[in-house]
């Protein structure tokens, strides 16, 4: 089946960057089940309840037992927030420069190096077994769930059944729901622990249920393919198995910035005027995980940085407002110093920075636009 490991790239490519920007890949949240927003808690919906009853009959014809259905739907329900998020998706306009600022942030690099050191034995063994570079696996882990810290806490049965009932992509999500029930019936995880994103992507490596059934592996040998465990072994091995089965070439790098030492391949320039990259067949395999050049470059670059490489050498052009990344960082730093907190200074202009700009502009009786500019930067001096 030609689908991404996640659902059509729900996640980093749009930088819903849930994992990427302290929840920029609205797909993942770092809350506990009890701390979920009100719109992500089950509410009574009689039409949904009727749909579940009819679905139960269809599920039994596909081998799902009544006992599995009873356990799975105990406490499950309609999630209004899942439907809202599904209908309100917008295309990301983030540049590659912004994407990499988040995907390969200093924090993500540091945590990636620590994670690689902490799990080096397991990652080395997985690399030996599947041929996938341990640093690439660590980078995927970092982008998908911030090394396990942001796996998502939305019950998968509730999320997939809600989206199947909603009908916009009902057939697809009913397939995901059936797959999730088979995972429960196989004993890979208990229903209470089967949590993930609003779209049903699960665990440390964010697999959709159908992809889990086809590619997940029991690396630890305990009889369960547990990609939710605090021990990431099964999740990392499953990601490696996925890449291997999609054609990963052992010993071949993903590529490199043009001008760096590395194998020759297909040259791409994702952001006009920015760095160019020589990409190999393994770059295209990474895109099977998430069909985005930005995602694949993010994985490759983060893997390189985790391995000790330096930042990209070529610079990116100024943004649409004429500001360089250094300008944007300076703007964020000056706003925060004046009491208009941007919640960090990474050079990425998001909602926090825009809110801080608006607050500053209002305090100075300036036109309230929320838009960064050279004039705004000069006024902050």
pLDDT digits (tens, 9 = 90+) for 261-313: 877 899 999 999 999 999 999 999 999 999 999 999 999 999 999 999 999 99
Domain boundary among 245, 276, 308: 245
Length of the chain: 381
Inside any domain, residue 348: yes
| 211 and 329, same domain (yes or no) | no
Q: Is residue 293 part of a domain?
A: no
Does the structure show a pLDDT above 50 at 214? yes
The overall pTM is greater than 0.75: yes
In a shared domain, residues 331 and 241: no
Region 97-104: mean pLDDT is 97
Note whether 140 and 233 are same-domain residues.
Answer: yes
Per-residue exposure over 174-210, b if at least 16 CB sit within 10 Å of its own CB, e if not: bbbbbbbbbbbbeebbebeebbbbbbbbbbbbbbbbb
Final residue in a domain of this structure, among 220, 245, 270: 245
What pLDDT does 92 receive? 58
End-of-domain residue from the set 195, 228, 245: 245
The domain total for the chain is 2
pLDDT recorded at residue 263? 76
Is there a single domain that holds both residue 20 and residue 120? yes
Query: Do residues 200 and 100 both lie within one domain?
Result: yes
* One domain, residues 20 and 127: yes
Task: For the chain, give the percent of residues with pLDDT over 70.
Answer: 90
Structural domain contains residue 35:
yes
What integer pLDDT is reported at residue 11 of this predicted model? Answer: 38
Average pLDDT, the chain: 91
Q: Give, in degrees to the nearest 5, the angle at Cα 110 between 290 and 253.
A: 45
What residues make up the domain containing 158?
12-245
- 292 in any annotated domain: no
Helix (H, G, I), strand (E, B) or coil at 13: helix
**Which of the four pLDDT bands, split at 50, 70 and 90, describes residue 34?**
low
- What pLDDT score does 91 carry? 55
Q: Could you tell me if residue 350 is inside a domain?
A: yes
- Looking at the domain assignment, is residue 189 inside a domain? yes
- Reported as a pLDDT band with limits 50, 70 and 90, residue 22 is very low
Helix, strand, or coil here: 265?
Answer: coil
Any domain includes 28: yes
The string of pLDDT tens digits covering residues 326-343 is 999 999 999 999 999 999
Least confident of 11-20, 143-152, 153-162, 339-348: 11-20
């Amino acid at each position: 089946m030609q689908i991404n490991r996640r659902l059509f790239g729900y996640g980093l490519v749009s930088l819903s960057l849930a994992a990427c920007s302290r929840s920029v890949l609205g797909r993942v949240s770092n809350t506990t089940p009890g701390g979920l927003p009100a719109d992500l808690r089950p509410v009574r919906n009689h039409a949904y309840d009727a749909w579940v009853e009819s679905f139960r009959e269809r599920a039994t014809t596909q081998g799902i037992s009544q006992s599995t259905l009873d356990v799975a739907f105990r406490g499950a329900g309609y999630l209004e927030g899942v439907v809202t998020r599904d209908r309100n998706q917008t295309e990301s306009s983030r540049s590659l420069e912004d994407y990499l600022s988040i995907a390969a942030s200093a924090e993500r690099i540091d945590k990636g190096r620590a994670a690689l050191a902490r799990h080096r034995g397991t990652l080395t063994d997985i690399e030996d077994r599947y041929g996938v570079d341990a640093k690439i696996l660590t980078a995927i882990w970092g982008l998908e769930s911030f090394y396990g810290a942001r796996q998502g806490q939305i019950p998968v049965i509730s999320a997939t059944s809600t989206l199947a009932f909603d009908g916009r992509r009902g057939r697809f999500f009913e397939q995901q729901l059936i797959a999730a029930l088979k995972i429960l019936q196989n004993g890979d995880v208990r229903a209470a622990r089967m949590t993930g994103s609003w779209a049903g992507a699960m665990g440390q490596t964010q697999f959709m249920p159908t992809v889990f059934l086809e590619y997940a592996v029991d690396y630890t040998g305990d009889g369960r393919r547990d990609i939710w465990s605090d021990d990431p072994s099964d999740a990392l091995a499953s990601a490696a198995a996925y890449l291997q089965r999609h054609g990963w070439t052992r010993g071949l790098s993903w590529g490199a910035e043009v001008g760096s030492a590395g194998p020759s391949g297909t040259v791409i320039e994702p952001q006009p005027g920015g760095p160019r990259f020589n990409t190999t067949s393994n770059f295209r395999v990474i895109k099977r995980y998430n069909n985005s050049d930005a995602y694949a470059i993010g994985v490759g670059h983060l893997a390189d940085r985790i391995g000790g490489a330096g930042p990209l050498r070529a610079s990116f052009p100024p943004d649409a407002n004429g500001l360089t990344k250094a300008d944007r960082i300076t703007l964020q730093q000056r706003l925060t110093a004046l009491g208009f907190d941007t919640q960090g200074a990474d050079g990425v202009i998001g909602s926090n920075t825009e809110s801080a700009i608006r607050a500053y502009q209002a305090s100075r009786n300036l036109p309230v636009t929320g838009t960064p500019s050279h004039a705004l930067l000069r006024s902050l001096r």
